[in-house]
Chains A and B, each alone.
Chain A
Amino acid sequence: MQQTVTSPRSSGAFGDKIFEWLCRGAGLLVLALLGAIILTLFVGGLPAFREFGLPFLWSTDWNPVEGRESYGAAVPVLGTIITAILAILIAVPAAFGIAFYLTELAPEWIRGPVGTAIELLAAIPSIIFGMWGLFVLVPIIQNYIQLPFGEILGAIPLIGFIFDSNNFAGTSLFAAAVVLAIMILPFIAATMRDVFLTVPAVYKESAYGLGCTRWEVMNKVVIPYTRVSVVGGIMLGLGRALGETMAVTFVIGNANRIATSIFDPSTTIASVVAMEFPESLMGSLKQSSLLALGFLLFVISFIVLATSRWLLRSRLK
């Protein structure tokens, strides 16, 4: 009797310990994984950092000719930041419109299906966006957008050169930004919608009761209440846009020069790695430079994603 009662208990305690450590070990593994990613990228990039020193950050060189090898991060880093910020500028107003429509304006029967459709847009693999961008969007930009933009906006003094380009292939920073904007749109819209839904109904009802229009409720009640989390959602989109690879690689033109116009081809960190890394020699200086670029990308997106999570901490888990 005594035997049958104690033995399962002690095995239970022992099993408990094993299971708890199994779970904790898996958690530690995730921590170790992030550490290992940072470390390998840094160690891999070390030869390039040593060879070029700090000027690596602002050098525009990309010369793989043996003996005169010289690499710099300026063009891909600039391309990454410009495309991501342009994408945010395009995506945020649209995402806000969708979130506002889905939480306040749309009739009940529309909210579910449209919300699901927007979320399905987020599920489409990035390579599909890339193909669609190359075969559908780029010709549209080439034929209908670039010329009118160049003619009308190119005449603006001081900033006109931004819209004026001699590149007529259509593959450009602008094309990359539009594709990125479409890709991050559902992420930002979904976060905004979820955040807007956390506003207590009483607040909105009291504003409606005072005679506010829907826009006034949104502008004066919902947005002030959710401001921090909305910025967090935008940062999440920015983080995704910074690291997106395939879609950008298809449409950006992959040219290592500083673009003066948004219709010029350029490159991003992720796409230069995708284009050049598989072909580079193992252990070469070029490979090391690409790893160093990867390290920079990791640092940038880590900061953005960490900020986003910190801003979103109170609303969404």
Chain B
Amino acid sequence: MSSTTFDIATAPAKDPATARALGRRRRMVDRLIRWACIGSTIIGLIFLASILVTLIYRGFAALDLTVLTREFEPTTYGDPDAPRGGLAHAIIGSLIQTSIATAVGTPVGLLVGTYLAEYARGSKLGEAVRFVSDVLLSAPSILIGLFIYQMVVLPMGGFSGLAGALALAIIVIPVVVRTTEDMLTLIPNTLREAVVALGAPKWKMITLVTWRAALSGIVTGVLLAFARIAGETAPLLLTSFGNSITSWDLSRSMSSLPIAIYQQANSGFPDLIDIAWAGALLVTLGVLSVNVVARVLLRKRK
């Protein structure tokens, strides 16, 4: 833009037209790009709105007590007297599997996060664990389904709710690890020193003080993990497979909301597709509200 041989005294008078044209061009490029950015933000928001509006419009139209209380029924072929099906079996199956998965995955994730934040700072092993946990966080979930299929479904001789819960538990672990470590590293060291100075052993310092200080953050992580697995479909296809009746037996195939949505949305029958929309609305409302609660908890911390 400038050079050392530039004569300041004569510069503005030299070529005001060029200077003005340059300024105009720079301003125009700036304005163009600003509008492009606003445009892309609006497009992002439109997609979100389109998904939510479609869900609400088609989901609420189909959502009623029958959907919540009945089990799967084949299509009615438009016959008003035929029994209409519902998603009760899927809701129960989802709750069972996600609860077990959260109960199994959370303690492991909590311990790993604690190891990374309290014991492994800067160590090689810690680095490796953090890296692997991050890779697992974004790894394709269907591969976790294949893994559990080989490890659990094959030896047990068939699809089972237990296998589904274990696959989801593996997905829970890295989410909890991430938030636990982040939250624990936020705790000031002076707090730890104060506890140790009082003569408490390290494990008491961690369990009674740092965990408690980071509690809301850790709970946030667990909520986010729960929300993440509530919508997982791919690993369940290969592990708990789905079922058209309510099953409480963990050693047998078990339905879940995402699987029921998947199967009924692809059935081609309008009445079943309506039920799938109702299920999709339920899952999304659940997942988004858990996310909002988690965010509120996190904001309180900050």
The interface of chain A, by Cβ under 8 A from chain B, is: 9, 12-13, 15-16, 18-20, 22-31, 33-34, 36-37, 40-41, 43-44, 93-98, 100-102, 105-106, 114, 116-118, 120-121, 123-132, 134-136, 182, 185-186, 189, 213-216, 236, 239-240, 242-246, 250, 270, 273-274, 277-278, 282, 290-291, 294, 297-298, 301-302, 305-306, 309, 317
Contact = CB atoms under 8 A, between A and B. Distances in A.
Contacts of A273: 142, 146, 238
29 contacts: A9-B201, A19-B203, A23-B118, A23-B119, A27-B111, A27-B120, A29-B112, A37-B139, A40-B147, A40-B151, A94-B40, A94-B43, A101-B41, A118-B45, A121-B51, A123-B288, A125-B283, A125-B287, A132-B50, A136-B54, A185-B47, A239-B138, A242-B140, A245-B234, A246-B233, A250-B265, A273-B142, A277-B149, A305-B138
A270 B116 contact: no
B203 A15 contact: yes
B135 A24 contact: no
Contact of B133 (A30, A36, A120): A30
Contact of A291 (B134, B146, B266, B295): B146
A94 B177 CA distance: 31
A104 B139 CA distance: 32
Given A132-B54, A135-B273, A294-B146, 6 more contacts: A44-B150, A94-B40, A117-B45, A182-B47, A298-B140, A302-B139
Nearest to B207: A19
Interface SS of chain B: helix, strand, loop or mixed? helix
B19 to A, nearest CB: 12
A297 B115 contact: no
B141 to A, nearest CB: 7
Contacts, number: 262
B161 interface: no
A243 B283 contact: no
Nearest to A182: B47
**Interface range for B:** 35 or more
Interface in B17-74: 26-27, 29-30, 33-34, 36-41, 43-45, 47-48, 50-51, 54-55, 58
B204 A12 contact: yes
